[in-house]
C-alpha cells in the first residue's frame, strides 16, 4: 500500500487520540503493518452517508 487518505466529519484536534486508537484497531483487524503508509487526514462537511464519520481511501500498487 502506498498511501491512505482519511476523510472525517465533525473533526476537531482533540479527537486525534480516539481517531488513532480506531486506526490501530482497524489495522490489526485487517493485518495492516506498522508503521502505516503515509496518510492524510482531511476534514469535510459531510460524507455520502449522513451517519458515517470517517471514509478511508487507500492507494496501492498490485504486482
Q: How confident is the model at residue 9, as a pLDDT?
A: 94
Tell me, rounded to whole angstroms, the distance of Cα 45 from its chain centroid.
16
The domain limits of the chain are: 3-59
Q: How confident is the model at residue 1, as a pLDDT?
A: 61
Q: What cell numbers appear for 24 in the block?
A: 490501530
pLDDT in tens, the chain (63 residues): 688 999 999 999 999 999 999 888 888 888 877 777 889 999 999 999 989 999 999 888 887
The β-bridge partners of 61 are: none
Q: How confident is the model at residue 12, as a pLDDT?
A: 92
Give the 3-state secondary structure of 4-32: EEEEECCCCHHHHHHHHHHHHHHHHHHCC
- Residue 53 to residues 25, 33, 39: CA-CA distances in angstroms? 16, 24, 17
> Rounded to two decimals, what is the model's pTM?
0.80
Amino acid at each position: 500500500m502506498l498511501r491512505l487518505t482519511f476523510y472525517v466529519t465533525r473533526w476537531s484536534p482533540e479527537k486525534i487520540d480516539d481517531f488513532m486508537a480506531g486506526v490501530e484497531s482497524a489495522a490489526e483487524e485487517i493485518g495492516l503493518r506498522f508503521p502505516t503508509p503515509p496518510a492524510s487526514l482531511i476534514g469535510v462537511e459531510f460524507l455520502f452517508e449522513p451517519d458515517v464519520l470517517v471514509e478511508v481511501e487507500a492507494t496501492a500498487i498490485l504486482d
